[in-house]
Structure 1
Amino acid sequence: MEKLLTSERAVRLERSYNEELQLLIQQGGYVSPIEHLWEDILIGVVLKKPILLKGPSGSGKTKLAQSISAFFNQPMHSVNCSVDLDAESLLGFKTIITKEGQSLIEFIDGPVVQAMKQGHILYIDEINMAKPETLPILHSVLDHRRMLTNPFTSEVIHAHEDFAVVAAINEGYVGTSPMNEALKNRFISFSIPYLAGDQLLDVIKEQVPSANGELINTLMNIHDDLKKQVMNGLLAEEAASVRSLMDAVALAQYMPVRRAILYGIAEKLEDKMEQKLIMELVNTWVK
């Protein structure tokens, strides 16, 4: 790792990881469930490699991107992909302004251009929700060239040294499509699993400090059962979302556990049979 330590950004990797992780927990940030995952992602960022985070909904991909932003003290520009995403959403648009009594055409930089120029982090969420024909415009941004010719202005933009790209993907979800191989090969990929065990317990205690131990244990037992049913293919991955678990813990401070899980977890699923299965599992833990 000595070869990496040549920039101010890389120097941060020399700091105590325990101190950094504790800081992130205190800020409600991401905590890695896999040894070395957090460190390895940071190394990828230092090497100026675009990062692709693959994992189920609620596994903490967005929180991870925010934690990278906090770690390097770099602002983050977000792009939320959908079938409506177009080049203007990425690069910017022209608008008419009035200056000294004259109407002028001005170009407003989009998130990609802003992040490239200012050396910030570009976060592309649900990248496989975008139409495949939209994203090739980013190919030169994501490979060794780290540059872009803006088709709206003809401006040639070379990325700032600290510019970084983090993208997130939910594989196999409705409305998604496989990433183009030319696009996927520009990223280094990391699988992001759900938190579990003591790490999950620590995060719950930090984010919902008023929750008592008995309540937390009950909800974690239910969460473990939900994960098993997800692995067995009987529930959608969203049922084991850590985000949903946190919602249920927060609600359970003020209402019975059954209702908290109904609103925080079960009702988020479309399938009525899956909703019923969740509530049946709850009944095995809540008398």
Structure 2
Amino acid sequence: MLENTPYYHPVGKEIEVFNHAYQNKIPFLLKGPTGTGKSRFVEYMAHQLNKKIITISCHEETSSTDLIGRFIIKGAETVWLDGPLTNAVKEGAIIYLDEVAEARPDVIVAIHSLTDHRRELFIDKLGETVKAHKDFMLVASFNPGYQRGFKELKPSTRQRFIAVAFEYPESKVEIEILVNETQIDFDTAKKLVAIGNKIRNLTELGLTETVSTRLLIDAAKIICSGLPKRLSVHVAIVEPLSDDLQTVQALKDLCDLMI
């Protein structure tokens, strides 16, 4: 469990929906771009429910073995070691599969029996089936706009979840988030949010990802610690968005004018 309450500003009915999903033992799916607060929301809800949270950051090498467990050599013996998913199932924790669409297909196959009425995990290497603890909850997230058509969740998987879409918060809320997260002054927070919104609307640059709230928070933090504003915006917002020299220069010129 997290000791301190993570700061989270609700933008809709997501807290109410999550509570009902938890109460009814229904898996929960968060959809949305990078840096829109999906992970922070799950941390916040775990704290509110006083539940342990186990987070797995999925990538193209994440396999079902990584989640379920494996045999390891311990001294002269070969022993079984439960993976994080198995631990969560047994303990009644919240398992959070961040960017689940990035994981290997066998991960999706492994969690299917946990996402329907069975609520059980089959451990093929042991030939055992583990029934989920009554408090167990499976939460997953993915970015439907990233590399569209390449890393998508199949409809048969998506329909096993209650889903909530996360977007970048409206300006007023995003300013409040920056102030609360970093103690930056209101006027600078307002300028950073304006920069974020401006770049998000620049579709002609062809950016793979746009400015996340996370990037704005990073910029605000290093401004508060004393780094000059223009330099802070350049290294925290502009450079992470692109490696193309012309694009970086165009973004830098725009941000210099706005900050």
TM over 0.5: same fold? yes
Q: Deviations over 1:7-48 (max 9, x none)?
A: xxxxxxxxxxxxxxxxx9x834322222x2221122122211
Counterpart residue number, 1:79: 56
Counterpart residue number, 1:239: 210
> Which residue of 31, 39, 51 maps to 2:16?
39
Counterpart residue number, 1:29: 7
Q: Deviations over 1:156-199 (max 9, x none)?
A: 20000010011010123249512122222111111011122332
> Which residue of 177, 187, 192 maps to 1:214?
187
Per the normalisation by structure 2, the TM-score is 0.90
Whether 2:70 is the aligned partner of 1:97: answer no
Using the alignment, how far apart are the partners of 2:247 and 2:16 within structure 1? 37
- CA shift at 1:271, angstroms? 4.2
3-state secondary structure, aligned to 1:182: helix
3-state secondary structure, aligned to 1:94: strand
The more displaced of 211-220 and 244-253 is: 211-220
Per the normalisation by structure 1, the TM-score is 0.82
Whether 2:221 is the aligned partner of 1:250: answer yes
Give percent identity, aligned residues only: 26
3-state secondary structure, aligned to 1:216: helix
CA contact (8 A) 1:29 1:67 kept: yes
- CA RMSD in angstroms comes to 2.1
> Which residue of 164, 168, 176 maps to 1:202?
176
For structure 2, the 5+ residue unaligned runs are none
Using the alignment, how far apart are the partners of 1:78 and 1:157 within structure 2? 20
| Matches for 1:115-126 after TM superposition, within 5 Å | 115-126=88-99
Counterpart AA for 1:267: E
> Which residue of 169, 185, 198 maps to 1:225?
198
- Residues 1:239 and 1:180: Cα distance change in structure 2 (over 3 Å): closer
Counterpart residue number, 1:148: 121
> Which residue of 110, 114, 136 maps to 1:163?
136
- Residues 1:120 and 1:233: Cα distance change in structure 2 (over 3 Å): farther
CA contact (8 A) 2:175 2:186 kept: no
Using the alignment, how far apart are the partners of 1:86 and 1:205 within structure 2? 39
Using the alignment, how far apart are the partners of 1:200 and 1:57 within structure 2? 15
3-state secondary structure, aligned to 1:157: strand
- CA shift at 1:204, angstroms? 1.5
- CA shift at 1:282, angstroms? 1.2
- Residues 1:237 and 1:28: Cα distance change in structure 2 (over 3 Å): farther
- CA shift at 1:261, angstroms? 1.0
For structure 1, the 5+ residue unaligned runs are 1-23
Whether 2:65 is the aligned partner of 1:88: answer yes
How many residues are matched? 254
Counterpart AA for 2:211: A
Q: Deviations over 1:104-154 (max 9, x none)?
A: 322111111100000000100111111224421211111110002211111
CA contact (8 A) 2:15 2:45 kept: no
